[in-house]
């Protein structure tokens, strides 16, 4: 086989390995476009519970705004945060840190145990506590550091701090700019910390069964990992083959030029 044949074969191989099957790209392929689909056993959302090291945003509103400001004083805590347009960076989040005993400390009130409670339950507990000092207080309480991390074959991998605790796997992937063309859509890995123990789940974006999974709704500190598919490896190999082909072509031209000069 001469050099031209080798170069031609390399180019054909590069083109063949760079093609991506359209069958692997669309999500929820089992849902018919013409018929209205209805899921019988869609996963129900369960409110996350507060755990040690969480940061809570708490605001108490009273008839006298100045007196309410005393209890609203909170410290700024450094955490890792990110957004859809920025990489992971250290940031300051103002809120009340839940200590190792599951407690927060409020001015006037003292320590309040909130670990194991939902934000609704914690809000009602704080309202009861501050009612001893204020008349008809209005309490707002939510997570200040509800964070999920999205890694792997997505356009913007990062850790995302969200104001909303009702977050789905689709929300997280949307924040990360969706999967790249090389993302493995049928095997998304979710890593979850549940009371100090790691839980794992695999989700298939090509199937509507994802809506039935208890991992469809993400929890605090969940990690979403998108694996690269086989074509990612093939593309890397193709790039190497293409580089070798270009070098071989240049060498062939140089050799021919030298031969003609002689």
Note the pLDDT tens digit of each residue in 19-61: 445 556 677 777 765 555 566 677 889 899 999 999 999 999 9
Name the segment(s) of the chain with CATH classification 3.30.1950.10: 55-143
Q: What is the pLDDT of residue 83?
A: 45
Q: Where are the beta strands (DSSP E) in 98-245?
A: 103-106, 110-113, 138-143, 146-152, 158-162, 167-168, 188-194, 197-203, 217-218, 223-226
Quickly name the fold that domain 22-38+147-230 has.
Outer membrane lipoprotein wza fold like (3.10.560)
Q: Is residue 202 over pLDDT 60?
A: yes
pLDDT tier for residue 116 given thresholds of 50, 70 and 90: very high
CATH superfamily of 55-143: wza like domain (3.30.1950.10)
Q: What is the pLDDT of residue 223?
A: 97
% residues pLDDT > 70 (the chain): 68
User: Which pTM was predicted?
Assistant: 0.68
Q: What is the pLDDT of residue 169?
A: 96
Q: What is the pLDDT of residue 40?
A: 65
Q: Which long-range contacts (CB under 8 A, 24 or more apart) does 172-177 make?
A: 172/148, 172/218, 172/222, 172/224, 173/224, 173/226, 175/84, 175/150, 176/84, 176/150, 176/224, 177/84
Name the segment(s) of the chain with CATH classification 3.10.560.10: 22-38+147-230
């Amino acid at each position: 086989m001469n050099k031209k044949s080798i170069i031609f074969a390399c180019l054909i191989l590069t083109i063949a390995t760079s093609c991506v099957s359209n069958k692997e790209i669309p999500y929820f392929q089992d849902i018919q476009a013409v018929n209205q689909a209805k899921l019988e056993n869609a996963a129900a959302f369960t409110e996350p519970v507060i755990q040690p090291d969480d940061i809570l945003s708490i605001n108490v509103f009273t008839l006298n705004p100045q007196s309410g400001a005393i209890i609203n004083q909170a410290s700024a805590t450094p955490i890792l945060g990110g957004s859809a347009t920025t990489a992971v960076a250290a940031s300051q989040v103002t809120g009340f840190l839940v200590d190792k005993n599951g407690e927060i400390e409020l001015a006037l009130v003292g320590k309040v145990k909130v670990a194991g409670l939902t934000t609704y339950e914690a809000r009602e507990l704080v309202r009861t506590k501050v009612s001893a000092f204020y008349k008809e207080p209005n309490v707002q309480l939510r997570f200040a550091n509800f964070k999920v991390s999205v890694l792997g074959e997505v356009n913007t991998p990062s850790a995302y701090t969200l104001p909303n605790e009702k977050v789905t796997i689709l929300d997280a992937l949307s924040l990360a700019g969706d999967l790249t063309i090389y993302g493995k859509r049928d095997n998304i890995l979710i890593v979850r910390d549940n009371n100090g123990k790691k839980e794992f789940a695999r989700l298939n974006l090509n199937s509507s069964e994802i809506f039935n999974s208890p991992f469809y709704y993400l929890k605090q500190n969940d990690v979403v990992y998108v694996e690269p598919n086989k074509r990612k490896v093939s593309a890397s190999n193709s790039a190497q083959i293409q580089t070798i082909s270009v070098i071989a072509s240049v060498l062939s031209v140089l050799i021919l030029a030298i031969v003609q000069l002689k």
